[in-house]
Structure 1
Amino acid sequence: MPTAPRSTAPAPAPPAPAAPSLTERRKAETRLEIARAAAALFAERGSAVTADDIARAAGVALRTFYRYFRTKEEAVAPLLAVGVRQWLADLRRLAAEGDGLPVRDVLERAARQALTPSDERAAEALRWTRGLLRAMRDDPALRSVWHHVHHDSEEALIPVLAGMTDGGTAEVRLAAAAANTAMRVAVETWAADDAPEERADDPAELVVRGMRALTAGLSGLDRRRTTTPPPV
């Protein structure tokens, strides 16, 4: 069967993604404002919070709340996802600096930075997360949101790590699972500590200890990628 001739010219570079429109940016800001209000209320009152409470605290109508979220518990997901995005951004930035650090060290640095607030707003978000995790003890729906966010985090880590290590597909996936689990367990352990916040274990130290324990057998993390990343 005849086919169309193939061009010998190089394929054009894909166009840069369009910047979000003003409407999209406003929607994202509204979602995050509702998420902050929801996190603060859940941290303060636990599962007794209602969608109406969250809408009032965020300064939106209840029908607006339900345009963005199906349930009151889902409203905290954007705030949790912000932390995940920051962690991945720190990981990419540290990997791009090219100082020759092994992948293991880059992972530890990024995790430590993610759990070390750089300003008061970041510290407040971490406190809200602690309160949310305490509220989750008696709220299966909130726990489901937490685990869903971490599932997405693990999936997002895979291509980032694949670009950093020359380990095989299985090792890349194990590294993503280990790093993500270390982060989750560190925050959950810190949140479960009933000591006052200033005397509780440092979550940044907890995540580094956990990451070292969980990745100890992954030799691919001791070096940086020198070949094309494996498919994942």
Structure 2
Amino acid sequence: MSTEPPPTSLTERRKAATQLDIAHAAAELFATRGPEATTAEDIARRAGVALRTFYRYFRSKQDAVGPLLTVGAGHWRALLADKPPGTALGPALRDAVEQALAAPDPQAREALLRTRGLLRAAADDPALRAVWYRVNQESEELLVPVVARLADGRRDLLDVRLVAAAATDAIRIALEVWSGTEAATEGPGSPADLAVCCLRRLLSGTVTAEDEDDASPRH
């Protein structure tokens, strides 16, 4: 998981849809077979595209999951970007994270479980971990102007970057910790529950006392 406008032309939309189809296929195969036992040919076949089409979009099999992870990161940034300037950062971040990592329907639960499978597969695959970290780094960079807009001039660049880094890491760490457990997609120990806890701890030095209290987990 972006906040950029979606593709507008038919060609761009088809390209994005094909990339996402390939990403879904790669994620499913990595979670069930493992990256080592999965080839680019396997992914292309599962996605219903030619191998040359696969390599038109991706340099390696691990790169193929990038669009899927980017969509998830973009979703929570978009939720945060919808908040009006001047909104207290603690509550704004908490609310966006809770919404982005909620699992109110089967589709949302499936997306979280897919991410769990990918992170478990990445544990033994450095190239897949590199994609995960790259997507998080890109998400952090894209989050900086969103946080700056919310801060509305009340924070300097150092504070803004620290908040963007802490917020991104809160979600990353929460998902990584959750992926190593059998906790459900909702409730105690879920991604949303862990992410809000991470936010409270990571932002304790960069938000005001009032914001910190507001960002505390609700139990």
Q: Structure 2 length as normaliser, TM-score? A: 0.86
Aligned to 1:141: 127
Aligned to 2:177: 189
Q: 2:55 aligns with which of 42, 58, 66?
A: 66
Give the drift of 1:221.
8.6
Offset from partner CA, 1:199-227 (integer Å, 9 cap, x none): 9821101000000001011136957xxxx
Q: 2:46 aligns with which of 57, 60, 66?
A: 57
Aligned to 1:102: 88
> What percentage of residue pairs aligned between the two structures are identical?
52
Q: Which amino acid aligns with 1:114?
A: A
Q: Which amino acid aligns with 1:129?
A: T
Distance in 2 between residues matched to 1:18 and 1:178, nearest whole Å: 27
Structure 1 alignment gaps of length 5 or more: 1-16, 224-232
Q: Is the 8 A contact 1:190 1:200 kept in 2?
A: no
SS at match of 1:163: helix
Distance in 2 between residues matched to 1:112 and 1:18, nearest whole Å: 23
Q: Is the 8 A contact 1:104 1:221 kept in 2?
A: no
Distance in 2 between residues matched to 1:197 and 1:86, nearest whole Å: 17
RMSD: 2.2
Q: Structure 1 length as normaliser, TM-score? A: 0.82
Taking a change above 3 Å as real, the CA distance of residues 221 and 63 of structure 1, as seen in their structure-2 partners, is: farther
**Count of paired positions:** 204
Structure 2 alignment gaps of length 5 or more: 212-219
Counting only pairs closer than 5 Å after superposition, residues 108-123 of structure 1 correspond to structure 2 as: 108-123=94-109
Aligned to 2:64: 75
Distance in 1 between residues matched to 2:32 and 2:148, nearest whole Å: 40
Q: Which entry has the higher C-alpha Rg, 1 or 2?
A: 1
